[in-house]
Amino acid sequence: MSVINIKGKDVPYNEEEIITFSEGLIGMPEMRRAVLVPMDEFQPFCWLASIESETGRFIVVDPNEIFAGYEPFPAEQVAGADLQTLAIVKISSEWDKTTVNLRAPLVINKETHIGAQLILSDSKYQFAESLMQN
Amino acid sequence: MLVLSRRTGQKIVIGNEVVVDVLGISGDGVKLGISAPGETSVHRYEVFTEIQAANRAAEVAVDDIENAALGNLSQMVRKNKDNEAI
């Protein structure tokens, strides 16, 4: 059991929970190994926290919790794989201006815990989709 | 920076596995074919930098967030979900 500090709070995690982004996030090769920590108080949001860097902290959410019917790629394309899809949330100091990146989701294989950030070619999903319009 | 001249149909190779093929040229546009191993990502530069900027902005924003903002968002999302279920 190890411990990671997230906004001043120590959160325990198991080695098996570690998610590996082989290439890091896009433009952030240092964001390679991270853990996903659900916010019990603020569901459905989670922390995605680098275990290698104190600054690698993101807020993520399962986009389907907010945008019903979000389908980043055709279901038949990923048949048989147990995948978790997450979108990075950009919190604004004016909370109602918070946006979600639906165009570049994080996809994680739940079995192997290997993940990657994808860029969707379908432009119906935006880089900064407002959380409020739903 | 290495600068190379190539004609249509000619290629360059980067490392051992990445091959860039000049498929065609028309006006000031050039059509490239890129063969790379599955784990190598290939993006248009401007899309790459846009997402990099979005990732960095989202990372920085975490430092300033207050629980009140998260509370409001969480409440709103859950309320919308309940409404959908009805």
Q: How far apart are CA B3 and CA A43, in angstroms?
A: 52
Q: Which H or E run includes B18?
A: strand B18-26
The yes-or-no verdict on residue A61 having pLDDT over 90 is yes
Which of A39, A92, A95, A96 should be substituted to probe chain B, the one whose Cβ sees the most B Cβ atoms within 10 Å?
A: A95
Chain B residues with CB-CB distance to A90 below 8 A: 54, 57-58, 61
Q: Kindly determine whether residue B56 and residue A57, on different chains, have CB atoms separated by under 8 Å.
A: no
* Other beta carbons less than 10 A from residue A81's beta carbon: 11
Mean pLDDT in chain B? 88
The structure's pTM equals: 0.86
Q: Closest to B69 (Cβ–Cβ): which among A44, A65, A95? A: A95
Residue A133 has pLDDT above 70, yes or no: no
Angstrom distance (rounded) from CA A35 to CA A110: 13
Residues B37-49: tens digit of each pLDDT: 987 888 899 989 9
Neighbours of A65 (CB within 10 A): 16
Residue B69 has its nearest CB partner, among A55, A91, A104, at A91
Task: Kindly report the nearest CA distance between residue A117 and chain B, in angstroms.
Answer: 10
Contact status of B79 with chain A (Cβ, < 8 Å):
no
B78: confidence class by pLDDT, cuts 50, 70, 90:
confident
pLDDT average, residue stretch A107-126 = 88
pLDDT digits (tens, 9 = 90+) for B8-56: 999 999 999 999 999 999 999 999 999 999 878 888 999 899 999 999 9
Q: What is the ipTM of this complex?
A: 0.87
Q: Tell me the per-residue pLDDT of A68-107, one tens digit each, with 9 for 90 and over.
A: 888 887 777 777 778 899 999 998 878 788 999 999 999 9
Got the DSSP string for chain A? -EEEEETTEEEEE-GGG-EEETT-BTTBTT--EEEEEE-STTTT-EEEEESS-TT-EEEEE-GGGTSTT--SS-GGGGTT--EEEEEEEE--SSGGG-EEEEEEEEEEETTTTEEEE---S-TTS-TTEESTT-
pLDDT mean across residues, chain A:
88
pLDDT number for residue A75: 73
- Which residues fall within 8 angstroms of residue A40, CB to CB, at 6 or more apart? none
- Closest Cα in chain A to B68: A95
Report pLDDT digits (tens) over A31-46.
999 999 999 888 899 9
Distance from CA of B46 to the nearest CA of A (A): 12
Q: Does residue B1 belong to the interface with chain A, where contact is any CB pair within 8 Å?
A: no
Exposure string over A19-29, b if 16+ CB within 10 A, otherwise e: bebeebbbbbe
Q: How many CB pairs under 8 A join A and B?
A: 109
The set of residues, in sequence order, having a beta carbon less than 8 Å from that of A98 and lying 6+ positions away, is A89, A90, A91, A92, A130, A131, A132, B69, B73
Q: Is A64 on the interface with B (CB under 8 A)?
A: no
